[in-house]
Amino acid sequence: MSRASAEREIVAPRLHECRGCGLLQSVPALLPGISAHCRRCGTTLHRARRHPLEHSLALTVAALILLVVMCLTTLMSVETAGIVHRAGLFSGPVELVQRGMTALAIVVVFVTVGAPFGKLLGTLYVLVRLREARPPRHLRRVFVLVERLTPWSMIEVFVLGVLVAYVKLGDLVTINLNTGVFALFALTFIMVWADGAMDHEAVWDALDRTTRPDATRRRPQALRRVAGAIGCESCGLVSVPAPGESHCPRCDSLLHARKPNSLARTWALVIASAVLYVPANLYPVLTVVQLGAGEPSTILGGVRELISSRMYPLAALVFFASIAVPMLKLVGLTVMLVATQSGRAGWLRDRTRLYHVVRFIGRWSMIDIFMEALLGALVRFGSVITIEPGIGAVAFCGVVILTMLAAETFDPRLMWDAALRTTRLHRHQASV
C-alpha cells in the first residue's frame, strides 16, 4: 500500500461530542483496528477500520445481490397430506393483509425488505459516487438517510424468526428449506460483516475532502474547544452555529444542543407501550388448529408449549426476546427517566451503559412477529392443520416499535446534565 493511500485512510483528528454523556473531547488520528472511548462514560467515540471504503463497497454489492435472491426465491416449503405450500419473503405479509392485519404486514415488509434495500442502495450510491473526481453535494443527504434507516433494517433478527418457525414446525409437518433461506443465512453473515467494516467517520471524512475542500483547510481551527459548540446528531460534526443558523454545516440536519423535548416524548412513548404491553400478553398471538381442535395461545403460552415439548433452547430464546427484552426496555427507560428528573448523580456510567444496551436489544423482540407471519403463511391445510396469527401480535409489534422510538428519543446526555446541576447546587449550598 502506498504511503498516500495509507494516509487517506486515517481519519483526521477532530473534536467529538460523546453521544453518551455530552463531553467534548478531541480524538486523535487512529490507526486501523484502534478505537477511542469517552474518558468520562466509556462510550465508543470512533473505531478505525482497515480499507473502510473498499471493504464496505464490496460487502454492500454482495449483500444487495443476496437480498434480491432472497426476495425472488422460496424460503421454505411444507408438506402434509400430499399438499405442498411454499412461502417466500412476501407470503407472510400477504397472509397478514388477508387476515385484516395490514399494519403488521407493512411493518414486516419495511423492516425485512424496505429498510435493508434503502440502506444498501444508499450506501452503494454514496461509495460509488465518492470515487468520482467531483462527487455531488447531495451525497451527504443520502448518507444521513442511510444512517437513519440502519436501526430499522432487521435481517439478522429475521433469520432467528425463520429458525424458530423451522424448529417449531418440525413436529407438526414435513418441512424443507429452500434457496431463499440459504440466501438469507449468507445475507445475515455479510450484513453483520459489512456493519463491522463500515467506518462512518471515514465516509464523512472522504465526503468533506471531496465535496467541501474549503472545510478541510479550516479543520485545525475546529479543534479548539469553543463555548456554544454543538455536536450534530446525524453526522457527529462539532460546530459553533452562527447567530440565526440552526443547521449542520456538513449534513444540513437541524442542530440541537440536546434532543428536543426528550423527557416528555420518551415518557409518552414509554407509557403508550406499557399500555399496549397488556393486550400484547393477554390476547393470543397464534392459534394452531389441528384436526378441527386447537386453542389460541399467548406469548407466555407459546413459551410454555415449547418447554412441554422439550425445546428448551428455543423456549429460552422466545422468552428472552418476547418477554424479558420488552420488560427490560420499559423498566430501564423508566429508571433513566426518573433518575434524570430527580437529578441523581449515582451510577452515571452504568446508566449510560444501560441506555446503550436498551437501544441495542430493542429490535430482537421482533423474532416472534416474524415467526408468526411465516407460520401463518406456511401452514394452511384446512381442517388437517392451520396456524393463524392472532391480534395479540399487532399489539406486541406496537410495543416493539414504540419502545424502539422511546430509546431513540431519550437523550442520555440529560442524565449527566442533571447530575452536574445537582452537584453544583450542593456545592453552592455548602459554601453558603
* CB of 116 vs Zn ion, minimal distance in Å: 24
CB of 244 to Zn ion, least distance (A): 18
Cβ distance to Zn ion smaller for residue 188 or 234? 234
Nearer to Zn ion, 42 or 294 (CB): 42
Provide the minimum distance between the beta carbon of 15 and Zn ion in the complex, in angstroms, as a whole number.
13
351 and 334 Cβ atoms separated by less than 8 Å: no
| Shortest reach from residue 30's CB to Zn ion, in Å | 17
Give 366's DSSP letter.
G
295 CB neighbour count, 10 Å cutoff = 9
**CA R_g for the chain:** 24
What is the Cα–Cα distance from 404 to 149, expressed in whole angstroms?
Answer: 13
Q: Which residues contact 269 (CB under 8 A, 6 or more apart)?
A: 402, 403, 405, 406, 409
Between 253 and 273, name the residue whose CB sits nearer to Zn ion: 253
H or E stretch at 75:
strand 74-80
CA neighbours closer than 13 Å in the CB half-sphere of residue 4: 0
Cβ at position 162, least distance to Zn ion in Å: 37
Residue 334: phi and psi, rounded to 5, are -65, -45
Look up cell 430493542; give the residue: 362
CB of 413 to Zn ion, least distance (A): 8
Rounded least distance, CB 18 to Zn ion, Å: 3
Measured between alpha carbons, how far is residue 228 from residues 39, 101, 239, 241, 247 in Å?
A: 21, 48, 8, 8, 14
d(CA 178, CA 164): 16
Q: Is 277 strand, coil or helix?
A: helix
From 38, 15, 12, 11, select the one nearest 26 (Cα to Cα). Answer: 15
Q: Quick one: 62 or 235, whose CB is closer to Zn ion?
A: 235
**Interface ranges with Zn ion (CB under 5 A):** 18, 20-21, 23, 38, 40-41, 43, 232, 234-235, 237, 248, 250-251, 253
State which residue, 44 or 102, has the beta carbon closest to Zn ion. Answer: 44
Q: Which is nearer to Zn ion, 396 or 410 (CB)?
A: 410
Q: Is 431 exposed, middle or buried (0-12, 13-18, 19+ CB in 10 A)?
A: exposed
CB of 154 to Zn ion, least distance (A): 26
Which one, 140 or 329, has the nearer CB to Zn ion?
Answer: 140
Which is nearer to Zn ion, 18 or 400 (by Cβ)?
Answer: 18
